[in-house]
Amino acid sequence: MDRVQEAPKVVLPTDCKNLFANRASRMDALAHVQDGPMGPYLGFLAHVCRAQSKVFNQADAEPVSPALLQNSREHGMPPVADLVFNRAAQWRADLKSLLSSLAEEDKLEESLRSEAKAFVAHLERDPNQVESLADAILTGAVLENTDARRVPFVGAALQVYFTRIAQALPVADVQNADVQSLCPCCGSRPTASVVHMEPDRSNARYLYCSLCQTEWNMERVKCSSCYKEGGIAYLIIDTDPKAATKAAVRAETCDDCKTYLKIFIQEKDPLLDVMADDIGSLALDMLVDEKGYTRTGPNLLLYPGSE
Protein backbone atom coordinates (compact mmCIF):
# COMPACT_ATOMS: atom_id res chain seq x y z
CA MET A 1 0.00 0.00 0.00
CA ASP A 2 1.27 3.45 -0.90
CA ARG A 3 1.17 5.95 1.84
CA VAL A 4 0.14 9.46 0.92
CA GLN A 5 3.42 11.31 1.01
CA GLU A 6 3.43 14.25 3.35
CA ALA A 7 4.60 17.53 1.86
CA PRO A 8 8.08 18.50 3.14
CA LYS A 9 8.08 20.95 6.04
CA VAL A 10 11.01 23.01 4.76
CA VAL A 11 12.39 23.24 1.22
CA LEU A 12 15.85 24.78 0.96
CA PRO A 13 16.87 26.47 -2.31
CA THR A 14 18.75 24.44 -4.91
CA ASP A 15 20.43 25.29 -8.23
CA CYS A 16 20.43 28.97 -7.34
CA LYS A 17 22.57 30.19 -10.21
CA ASN A 18 19.65 29.16 -12.42
CA LEU A 19 17.08 30.35 -9.94
CA PHE A 20 18.42 33.91 -10.26
CA ALA A 21 18.80 33.60 -14.05
CA ASN A 22 15.19 32.41 -14.38
CA ARG A 23 14.07 35.25 -12.16
CA ALA A 24 15.85 37.66 -14.51
CA SER A 25 13.93 36.22 -17.48
CA ARG A 26 10.65 36.58 -15.62
CA MET A 27 11.52 40.21 -14.74
CA ASP A 28 12.17 40.84 -18.44
CA ALA A 29 8.91 39.19 -19.47
CA LEU A 30 6.92 41.25 -16.95
CA ALA A 31 8.76 44.44 -17.95
CA HIS A 32 7.32 44.11 -21.43
CA VAL A 33 3.72 43.93 -20.31
CA GLN A 34 3.75 46.56 -17.55
CA ASP A 35 2.47 50.05 -18.13
CA GLY A 36 3.92 53.08 -16.38
CA PRO A 37 7.17 53.34 -14.44
CA MET A 38 7.22 49.72 -13.26
CA GLY A 39 8.11 48.45 -16.74
CA PRO A 40 11.56 50.07 -16.79
CA TYR A 41 12.06 49.24 -13.13
CA LEU A 42 11.46 45.52 -13.81
CA GLY A 43 13.88 45.81 -16.76
CA PHE A 44 16.51 47.21 -14.39
CA LEU A 45 15.86 44.39 -11.89
CA ALA A 46 16.33 41.81 -14.66
CA HIS A 47 19.93 43.08 -14.91
CA VAL A 48 20.27 42.94 -11.11
CA CYS A 49 19.06 39.30 -11.06
CA ARG A 50 21.42 38.36 -13.89
CA ALA A 51 24.24 39.88 -11.83
CA GLN A 52 23.07 37.81 -8.83
CA SER A 53 23.28 34.69 -11.00
CA LYS A 54 26.79 35.61 -12.07
CA VAL A 55 28.06 36.36 -8.56
CA PHE A 56 26.40 33.36 -6.90
CA ASN A 57 29.08 30.77 -7.74
CA GLN A 58 32.00 33.13 -7.22
CA ALA A 59 32.36 32.18 -3.53
CA ASP A 60 31.60 29.30 -1.22
CA ALA A 61 28.86 29.40 1.36
CA GLU A 62 29.92 30.92 4.68
CA PRO A 63 30.22 28.07 7.21
CA VAL A 64 27.70 28.08 10.06
CA SER A 65 29.05 27.16 13.49
CA PRO A 66 28.10 23.78 14.98
CA ALA A 67 26.70 25.58 18.04
CA LEU A 68 24.21 27.52 15.92
CA LEU A 69 23.17 24.38 14.06
CA GLN A 70 22.71 22.50 17.32
CA ASN A 71 20.64 25.38 18.69
CA SER A 72 18.49 25.16 15.57
CA ARG A 73 17.99 21.38 15.82
CA GLU A 74 17.25 21.46 19.54
CA HIS A 75 15.45 24.74 20.07
CA GLY A 76 14.25 25.71 16.61
CA MET A 77 16.34 28.91 16.52
CA PRO A 78 16.95 29.85 12.84
CA PRO A 79 20.74 29.29 12.58
CA VAL A 80 21.58 32.38 10.52
CA ALA A 81 19.07 34.79 12.05
CA ASP A 82 20.38 38.33 12.44
CA LEU A 83 20.29 38.07 16.24
CA VAL A 84 22.69 35.13 16.47
CA PHE A 85 24.70 35.05 13.26
CA ASN A 86 27.27 37.67 12.27
CA ARG A 87 27.43 38.02 8.51
CA ALA A 88 31.02 38.07 7.28
CA ALA A 89 32.66 40.65 5.00
CA GLN A 90 32.04 38.24 2.10
CA TRP A 91 28.62 39.79 1.53
CA ARG A 92 30.33 43.14 0.80
CA ALA A 93 32.59 41.39 -1.69
CA ASP A 94 29.39 40.05 -3.27
CA LEU A 95 27.95 43.56 -3.34
CA LYS A 96 31.09 44.89 -5.00
CA SER A 97 31.04 42.15 -7.67
CA LEU A 98 27.37 42.74 -8.30
CA LEU A 99 27.84 46.52 -8.65
CA SER A 100 30.91 46.13 -10.88
CA SER A 101 28.99 43.77 -13.12
CA LEU A 102 26.14 46.29 -13.41
CA ALA A 103 28.55 49.18 -14.01
CA GLU A 104 29.89 47.29 -17.04
CA GLU A 105 26.51 46.22 -18.40
CA ASP A 106 26.15 48.19 -21.62
CA LYS A 107 22.46 47.37 -21.97
CA LEU A 108 21.79 49.18 -18.69
CA GLU A 109 20.82 52.84 -18.76
CA GLU A 110 23.83 55.14 -18.34
CA SER A 111 22.49 56.81 -15.16
CA LEU A 112 22.07 53.42 -13.46
CA ARG A 113 25.55 52.33 -14.50
CA SER A 114 26.97 55.51 -12.98
CA GLU A 115 24.94 54.92 -9.84
CA ALA A 116 26.44 51.42 -9.52
CA LYS A 117 29.93 52.85 -10.08
CA ALA A 118 29.42 55.57 -7.47
CA PHE A 119 28.20 52.99 -4.99
CA VAL A 120 31.40 50.90 -5.47
CA ALA A 121 33.45 53.99 -4.58
CA HIS A 122 31.26 54.65 -1.55
CA LEU A 123 31.54 51.01 -0.45
CA GLU A 124 35.34 51.23 -0.53
CA ARG A 125 35.39 54.57 1.27
CA ASP A 126 32.87 53.80 3.98
CA PRO A 127 32.13 50.09 4.50
CA ASN A 128 30.71 50.76 7.97
CA GLN A 129 27.98 52.97 6.55
CA VAL A 130 27.06 50.18 4.13
CA GLU A 131 26.97 47.68 7.01
CA SER A 132 24.56 50.00 8.84
CA LEU A 133 22.47 50.27 5.69
CA ALA A 134 22.30 46.46 5.48
CA ASP A 135 21.20 46.33 9.13
CA ALA A 136 18.53 48.93 8.43
CA ILE A 137 17.26 46.98 5.41
CA LEU A 138 17.17 43.69 7.31
CA THR A 139 15.22 45.26 10.18
CA GLY A 140 12.86 47.13 7.87
CA ALA A 141 13.85 50.64 9.01
CA VAL A 142 12.55 53.62 7.04
CA LEU A 143 15.17 54.96 4.61
CA GLU A 144 15.40 58.10 2.56
CA ASN A 145 17.11 59.47 -0.53
CA THR A 146 20.40 57.86 -1.50
CA ASP A 147 20.04 55.05 1.03
CA ALA A 148 16.57 54.20 -0.28
CA ARG A 149 17.83 54.04 -3.87
CA ARG A 150 20.55 51.61 -2.82
CA VAL A 151 18.11 49.10 -1.30
CA PRO A 152 17.83 46.86 -4.40
CA PHE A 153 21.64 46.59 -4.75
CA VAL A 154 22.20 45.81 -1.07
CA GLY A 155 19.12 43.56 -0.95
CA ALA A 156 20.35 41.63 -3.98
CA ALA A 157 23.84 41.12 -2.49
CA LEU A 158 22.44 40.01 0.87
CA GLN A 159 20.19 37.55 -0.98
CA VAL A 160 23.19 36.06 -2.79
CA TYR A 161 25.17 35.70 0.44
CA PHE A 162 22.35 34.19 2.53
CA THR A 163 20.99 32.01 -0.29
CA ARG A 164 24.42 30.38 -0.63
CA ILE A 165 24.30 29.50 3.06
CA ALA A 166 20.74 28.15 2.79
CA GLN A 167 21.64 26.08 -0.26
CA ALA A 168 24.54 24.45 1.63
CA LEU A 169 22.65 23.57 4.85
CA PRO A 170 21.31 20.06 5.51
CA VAL A 171 17.53 20.38 5.67
CA ALA A 172 17.48 18.36 8.93
CA ASP A 173 19.20 21.32 10.61
CA VAL A 174 16.28 23.68 10.00
CA GLN A 175 13.24 21.47 10.58
CA ASN A 176 12.38 22.46 14.12
CA ALA A 177 11.60 26.17 13.99
CA ASP A 178 8.33 26.89 15.74
CA VAL A 179 7.78 30.55 14.82
CA GLN A 180 5.84 29.89 11.66
CA SER A 181 5.78 33.48 10.48
CA LEU A 182 9.59 33.61 10.10
CA CYS A 183 12.06 31.76 7.88
CA PRO A 184 13.42 28.65 9.68
CA CYS A 185 16.86 29.29 8.17
CA CYS A 186 17.51 33.05 8.45
CA GLY A 187 14.59 34.31 10.56
CA SER A 188 13.43 36.83 7.93
CA ARG A 189 9.85 37.49 6.96
CA PRO A 190 8.40 35.96 3.81
CA THR A 191 7.85 38.06 0.67
CA ALA A 192 4.74 36.06 -0.20
CA SER A 193 3.41 32.53 -0.24
CA VAL A 194 3.07 30.06 -3.09
CA VAL A 195 0.65 27.19 -3.69
CA HIS A 196 2.73 24.66 -5.55
CA MET A 197 1.94 22.26 -8.35
CA GLU A 198 5.00 19.96 -8.17
CA PRO A 199 3.91 16.37 -7.41
CA ASP A 200 5.59 16.09 -3.98
CA ARG A 201 3.91 19.23 -2.71
CA SER A 202 0.96 19.67 -4.96
CA ASN A 203 -1.59 22.13 -3.57
CA ALA A 204 0.50 22.75 -0.48
CA ARG A 205 1.19 26.34 0.51
CA TYR A 206 4.72 27.53 1.27
CA LEU A 207 5.90 30.83 2.63
CA TYR A 208 8.84 32.16 0.57
CA CYS A 209 11.74 33.86 2.39
CA SER A 210 12.50 37.42 1.37
CA LEU A 211 16.21 36.88 1.99
CA CYS A 212 17.48 33.28 1.55
CA GLN A 213 14.89 31.70 -0.84
CA THR A 214 13.96 29.02 1.70
CA GLU A 215 10.33 27.87 1.64
CA TRP A 216 8.37 26.52 4.58
CA ASN A 217 5.01 24.88 4.71
CA MET A 218 1.95 26.48 6.27
CA GLU A 219 -1.62 25.25 5.93
CA ARG A 220 -3.82 27.23 3.57
CA VAL A 221 -6.52 29.71 4.60
CA LYS A 222 -4.66 30.81 7.70
CA CYS A 223 -3.10 34.19 8.48
CA SER A 224 0.68 33.93 8.06
CA SER A 225 1.13 36.65 10.68
CA CYS A 226 -1.33 35.95 13.57
CA TYR A 227 -2.23 32.34 12.59
CA LYS A 228 -5.98 32.95 12.91
CA GLU A 229 -8.34 31.53 10.30
CA GLY A 230 -11.64 33.29 10.88
CA GLY A 231 -11.01 36.62 9.17
CA ILE A 232 -9.25 35.46 6.00
CA ALA A 233 -10.38 36.79 2.61
CA TYR A 234 -8.78 36.98 -0.83
CA LEU A 235 -8.57 40.07 -2.98
CA ILE A 236 -7.55 40.29 -6.63
CA ILE A 237 -7.18 43.21 -9.01
CA ASP A 238 -9.86 42.15 -11.46
CA THR A 239 -13.34 43.04 -10.24
CA ASP A 240 -15.08 40.49 -12.45
CA PRO A 241 -16.21 37.66 -10.08
CA LYS A 242 -15.46 35.10 -12.78
CA ALA A 243 -11.78 36.15 -12.65
CA ALA A 244 -11.45 35.14 -8.99
CA THR A 245 -10.87 31.45 -9.69
CA LYS A 246 -8.40 32.18 -12.48
CA ALA A 247 -6.18 34.72 -10.71
CA ALA A 248 -2.61 33.55 -10.10
CA VAL A 249 -1.91 36.50 -7.81
CA ARG A 250 -4.12 37.13 -4.78
CA ALA A 251 -3.81 39.05 -1.54
CA GLU A 252 -4.60 36.99 1.55
CA THR A 253 -6.06 39.51 3.98
CA CYS A 254 -6.75 38.94 7.67
CA ASP A 255 -9.42 40.88 9.54
CA ASP A 256 -8.10 39.77 12.91
CA CYS A 257 -4.75 41.55 12.61
CA LYS A 258 -5.54 43.76 9.57
CA THR A 259 -2.52 42.54 7.61
CA TYR A 260 -2.00 40.84 4.29
CA LEU A 261 0.51 38.91 2.25
CA LYS A 262 0.22 37.90 -1.38
CA ILE A 263 -0.36 34.31 -2.36
CA PHE A 264 0.67 32.98 -5.78
CA ILE A 265 -1.12 30.00 -7.34
CA GLN A 266 1.49 28.27 -9.48
CA GLU A 267 -1.06 26.12 -11.30
CA LYS A 268 -2.65 29.28 -12.74
CA ASP A 269 0.71 30.49 -14.05
CA PRO A 270 3.56 27.93 -13.96
CA LEU A 271 6.22 30.51 -14.90
CA LEU A 272 5.59 32.79 -11.97
CA ASP A 273 8.44 33.81 -9.69
CA VAL A 274 7.72 35.17 -6.21
CA MET A 275 10.10 38.15 -6.29
CA ALA A 276 9.36 39.14 -9.87
CA ASP A 277 5.61 38.65 -9.79
CA ASP A 278 5.38 40.43 -6.47
CA ILE A 279 6.87 43.55 -8.05
CA GLY A 280 4.80 42.99 -11.18
CA SER A 281 1.61 43.20 -9.10
CA LEU A 282 2.10 46.39 -7.10
CA ALA A 283 -1.35 47.54 -8.20
CA LEU A 284 -2.76 44.86 -5.93
CA ASP A 285 -0.73 46.22 -2.98
CA MET A 286 -2.21 49.66 -3.57
CA LEU A 287 -5.73 48.26 -3.67
CA VAL A 288 -5.26 46.32 -0.44
CA ASP A 289 -3.47 49.24 1.29
CA GLU A 290 -6.46 51.44 0.47
CA LYS A 291 -8.70 48.97 2.27
CA GLY A 292 -6.60 49.42 5.41
CA TYR A 293 -4.45 46.28 5.47
CA THR A 294 -0.71 46.44 6.21
CA ARG A 295 1.69 44.21 4.35
CA THR A 296 3.71 41.90 6.63
CA GLY A 297 6.73 40.92 4.49
CA PRO A 298 9.25 42.90 2.41
CA ASN A 299 10.63 42.53 -1.09
CA LEU A 300 14.32 43.40 -0.78
CA LEU A 301 14.58 44.35 -4.47
CA LEU A 302 12.08 47.14 -4.13
CA TYR A 303 13.27 50.52 -2.98
CA PRO A 304 10.94 52.51 -0.80
CA GLY A 305 8.95 54.98 -2.84
CA SER A 306 9.33 53.08 -6.11
CA GLU A 307 5.75 51.81 -5.93
Does position 209 interact with Zn ion (CB under 5 A)? The reply is: yes
Q: Nearer Cβ to Zn ion, position 204 or 223?
A: 223
Does position 169 interact with Zn ion (CB under 5 A)? The reply is: no
61-68 long-range contacts, CB within 8 A, separation 24+: 61/164, 61/165, 61/167, 61/168, 62/87, 62/88, 62/90, 62/161, 62/164, 62/165, 64/165, 64/169
Minimum CB separation from Zn ion for residue 212, in Å? 3
Q: Nearer Cβ to Zn ion, position 30 or 154?
A: 154
d(CA 46, CA 62): 26
Q: Nearer Cβ to Zn ion, position 44 or 216?
A: 216
Stretches 26-34, 129-137, 207-215, 267-275: which one binds Zn ion (CB under 5 A)?
207-215
Does position 80 interact with Zn ion (CB under 5 A)? The reply is: no
Does position 185 interact with Zn ion (CB under 5 A)? The reply is: yes
Q: Nearer Cβ to Zn ion, position 34 or 52?
A: 52
Q: Nearer Cβ to Zn ion, position 53 or 214?
A: 214
Among 163, 214, 217, 296, which residue sits at the site for Zn ion (rule: CB under 5 A)? 214
Among 12, 120, 160, 223, which residue sits at the site for Zn ion (rule: CB under 5 A)? 223
Contact yes or no for 97/57 (Cβ under 8 A): no
Q: Nearer Cβ to Zn ion, position 40 or 231?
A: 231
DSSP 23-72: HHHHHHHHHHH--TTHHHHHHHHHHHHHHHHHHHTTSPPPP--HHHHHHH
Does position 256 interact with Zn ion (CB under 5 A)? The reply is: yes
**Which residue from 155, 145, 191 is spatially nearest to 49, judged by alpha carbons?**
155
Cβ-Cβ contacts under 8 Å for 27 (sequence gap 6 or more): 42, 43, 45, 46, 49, 273, 276, 279
Does position 61 interact with Zn ion (CB under 5 A)? The reply is: no
Interface contacts to Zn ion, rule CB under 5 A: 183, 185-186, 188, 209, 211-212, 214, 223, 225-226, 254, 256-257
